[in-house]
Structure 1
Amino acid sequence: MSDPETPFRLVVDASVAGQRVDRALADAIGTISRSRVKTLIEEGHLARNGQIVREPSDILREGMDLILSFPTPLPARPMAEDLPLTILYEDRDLIVLDKQAGLVTHPAPGNETGTLVNALLGHCGEGFEGIGGEKRPGIVHRLDKDTSGLMVVAKNAMAHNALSEAFAARDIDRAYMALAWGLLPASGEFDGAIGRDKKDRKRMAVVQSGGKPALTRFKLLEPIHTSVSLIECKLATGRTHQIRVHLSQAGHPLLGDPVYLRRIPAAARGLPQDAKDAALDFPRQALHAARLGFIHPRTKQPLSFETAPPQDFQDLKNRLTGSTFKSS
């Protein structure tokens, strides 16, 4: 393991001779990705026997003396802002938070400020140790702007790499709660590759070719007037808009979904008028990331978090059923 700001030295022996320099260094360092090592080499941060080299694919020979240096992290480009955050857990490596609906994750044209990244920079200040050469939060996974719920954010490269690998390997326990139109069976799954909608590039769709495999498992938590289902969804894969796309494709779009609910569903006819009005007027997709569990990248201890849906979700469910919401 290596301190990311201390130059790393590797004297090539027989065990690594014959390997690519980027692969050998990434394996030896153990806390940064091979792609990051490759970038550092290409930017001129690797010295071999005292000479700068810039070719990541060079083959190592026994006796070579390599020194990889790490540039001082640049200040984060987004502006730090004092914005409210609901933080459930924080240590030197990561933050677990309950993101409110309406909060964009990354600054982008039209949303340069007021994002989760701006808020995290305001919260942590210099607490980020540097990811990809910049002092910034490591966004391991995203939630759509209008989806609420649990997220984990890395504070350093070690945590970012470990958590990213865990998400890629599906070694994460994630469960979502959703309100979907129609009555779903007690349990089941939706299996369909997801790619860009050929008719609307802003939408994703289940596609026959060119998409990425996607699998969503669900269970029915509560039927409501045979017109709406409160369900729990678990992702076996993590594609853009996966839950929203799969449920819409199956004829059970999420209540309030501004992208995948294009007309009043037939199931709405089964609701009392006040409940129907509440469902059709809900201004966002009724989706909440309710559970998140993972192995801590440093301590190797399991961490698990659960949150109830936000008040607007609960109010909608109460208007549909007249009952009070109970968190899991």
Structure 2
Amino acid sequence: MKQQFTVAAEDGGIRIDKYLSMCCEELSRSYLQKLLKEQEVLVNEKAVKSNYKVSPGEVVQLSLPEAVEPEIEAEEMDLDILYEDEDIILINKPKGMVVHPAAGHYSGTLVNGLMAHCRDSLSGINGVMRPGIVHRIDMDTTGVIIVCKNDMAHNSIAEQLKEHSITRKYYAVVHGVLKEDEGIINAPIGRHPVDRKKMSINEKNGREAITHYRVLERFKQFTYVECQLETGRTHQIRVHMASTGHPILGDQVYGPAKSSFRLNGQTLHAGVLGIVHPKSGAYMEFTAPLPEYFEDLLRKLRGAL
């Protein structure tokens, strides 16, 4: 696949690798530098090095190799199944498990385990890399995730997500003591303007994001909260709580780098998921108990009072 760009006047003097990263936000700078080395980038039909500085009016051509999807293999796993029927399956996802295969994670994911458990009964709408997956939770977030076994169920749950009619309650411990007992955070979320691996409050280019929070328990330096999603943006609760000055404990991306507790990632648990069943039309609600590490943390915080 070939892409072509004409350098604008304001972009003159910028290194070619930086210029391309501005034009192709979905590609990492290291990958672009690799393409430059392989002479897949031409400026006015000539190959250039990554330190080349572009000039206004120059034509930049980028050749991207065709993406080859790897073969995803089924893996037998001891999945914590909360509910299952012929249309849907709900899993209590453990900490550290990636939901679906992606670069660097082609095995050990929830999808690998589901392929072994469900065999051929997974919806195909999201392709071979994400069969059955209609939504996801972060690797270090625990709790309920729904997976669809056929396209009918997938379309139904996707529509409920789009309409914000699904009940999704998360539990978290955040830094600091929240003064209000409850509140609403309404701030659009988009890709971070500098660090492309992060999300941020983005008034200009972000998408609508609404989180309702409620204080469950206050400690000396932390607060135990319930967060209910009205929308479902990437890292929504993590970004929203950090924006209030109360980042989630253990979140090294949006909060302090160090913690006085031994934690593996953010203390965030998807505790409740409520849906209208795709076939029966009945409202069903599923609950995943707090993981042991979370319960242990709460005991420690209560003991410090």
TM-score range, shorter chain: 0.7 to 0.9
Q: Of the candidates 281, 301, 304, which is equivalent to residue 320 of structure 1?
A: 301
Q: Give the direction of change, closer, same or farther, for the CA distance of 1:133–1:213 in structure 2 (3 Å limit).
A: closer
Q: Which amino acid letter does the alignment assign opposite residue 241 of structure 1?
A: H
2:183 is the alignment partner of 1:188: yes
How far has the Cα of 1:263 moved from its partner? 4.8
Q: Which amino acid letter does the alignment assign opposite residue 193 of structure 1?
A: P
2:299 is the alignment partner of 1:304: no
Matches within 5 A, 1:97-246: 97-128=91-122, 130-131=124-125, 137-184=131-178, 185-225=180-220, 227-246=221-240
Larger CA Rg, structure 1 vs 2: 1
Q: Which amino acid letter does the alignment assign opposite residue 150 of structure 2?
A: N
Q: Give the direction of change, closer, same or farther, for the CA distance of 1:213–1:86 in structure 2 (3 Å limit).
A: same
List runs of 5+ in structure 1 lacking aligned partners: 1-75, 265-275, 324-328
Q: For each residue in 1:214-267, what CA deviation from the matched residue of structure 2 results, as whole angstroms up to 9, or x when unmatched?
A: 111100000012x11100001111111000001101100000002101356xxx
Normalising by structure 1, report the TM-score: 0.68
How far has the Cα of 1:136 moved from its partner? 6.8
Take 1:172 and 1:248, find their aligned partners in 2: how far apart are those partners? Answer: 24
Take 2:248 and 2:222, find their aligned partners in 1: how far apart are those partners? Answer: 9
8 A contact 1:121–1:136 mirrored in 2: no
Take 1:87 and 1:286, find their aligned partners in 2: how far apart are those partners? Answer: 22
Take 2:267 and 2:124, find their aligned partners in 1: how far apart are those partners? Answer: 35
Take 1:195 and 1:133, find their aligned partners in 2: how far apart are those partners? Answer: 25
Q: Give the direction of change, closer, same or farther, for the CA distance of 1:261–1:169 in structure 2 (3 Å limit).
A: same
Q: Which amino acid letter does the alignment assign opposite residue 305 of structure 1?
A: F
Take 1:316 and 1:163, find their aligned partners in 2: how far apart are those partners? Answer: 34
SS, match of residue 277 in structure 1: coil
Normalising by structure 2, report the TM-score: 0.73
How far has the Cα of 1:131 moved from its partner? 3.9
8 A contact 2:123–2:132 mirrored in 1: no
Take 1:258 and 1:165, find their aligned partners in 2: how far apart are those partners? Answer: 33
SS, match of residue 314 in structure 1: helix
How far has the Cα of 1:197 moved from its partner? 1.1
SS, match of residue 120 in structure 1: helix
2:84 is the alignment partner of 1:90: yes
Q: Which amino acid letter does the alignment assign opposite residue 103 of structure 1?
A: M
Take 2:299 and 2:152, find their aligned partners in 1: how far apart are those partners? Answer: 43
8 A contact 2:125–2:131 mirrored in 1: yes
The percent identity for this pair of structures is: 44
8 A contact 1:128–1:136 mirrored in 2: no
Q: Which amino acid letter does the alignment assign opposite residue 154 of structure 2?
A: H
**What is residue 260 of structure 2 aligned with on the other side?**
277
Q: CA RMSD in A?
A: 1.9
Q: Which amino acid letter does the alignment assign opposite residue 260 of structure 2?
A: D
Take 1:105 and 1:134, find their aligned partners in 2: how far apart are those partners? Answer: 13
List runs of 5+ in structure 2 lacking aligned partners: 1-69
